[in-house]
Structure 1
Amino acid sequence: MWGSMLLALATGIIIGVVFQSLKIPSPAPPFLGLLGLLGMFLGQRLMPWIQLWLSRK
């Protein structure tokens, strides 16, 4: 798990450096992008609980 997170972080840093060096604007405003990532993370963490809740109905 930590390996995947470190790989994702390293990839993000590399892409950020490339975008900045080529003067390419970020594809999404940083705040909105971070909110989207937070939503994806929370959705992944909540999915097992949602499935459990739905299976009890």
Structure 2
Amino acid sequence: MWGSMLLALATGLIIGVIFQSLKIPSPAPPFLGLLGLLGMFLGQNAVPWIKTLLNH
């Protein structure tokens, strides 16, 4: 799991550097994009947690 997260972070950093170097505008507002990613992360982690609670 950590390997995937580090790969995603590294990829995001590389793409960010490329976008900034080429003066390409970000495809999404940075703050809203981060909130969306946070929501996706929390949603993905909430499902197993809720299943565990319901099974006990």
- TM-score band, normalised by shorter chain: 0.7 to 0.9
Percent identical across equivalent pairs? 84
**Structure 2: runs of 5 or more not aligned:** none
Q: Which residue of 1 aligns with 2:36?
A: 36
Q: TM-score, normalised by structure 2?
A: 0.83
State how far apart, in whole Å, the 1-side matches of 2:6 and 2:48 are.
Answer: 24
The Cα offsets for residues 8-56 of structure 1, whole Å up to 9 and x where unpaired, read as 010000000110011000011111001000000011011124456788x
Cα distance change, pair 2–53 in 1 and its aligned pair in 2 (3 A)? closer
Cα distance change, pair 52–2 in 1 and its aligned pair in 2 (3 A)? closer
Q: Which residue of 1 aligns with 2:14?
A: 14
Q: Which residue of 1 aligns with 2:24?
A: 24
Report the 3-state secondary structure (helix = DSSP H, G, I; strand = E; otherwise coil) of the residue aligned with 1:24: coil
Q: What's the RMSD between the two structures over aligned residues? A: 1.7
Report the 3-state secondary structure (helix = DSSP H, G, I; strand = E; otherwise coil) of the residue aligned with 2:25: coil
State how far apart, in whole Å, the 2-side matches of 1:49 and 1:9 are.
Answer: 24
**Structure 1: runs of 5 or more not aligned:** none
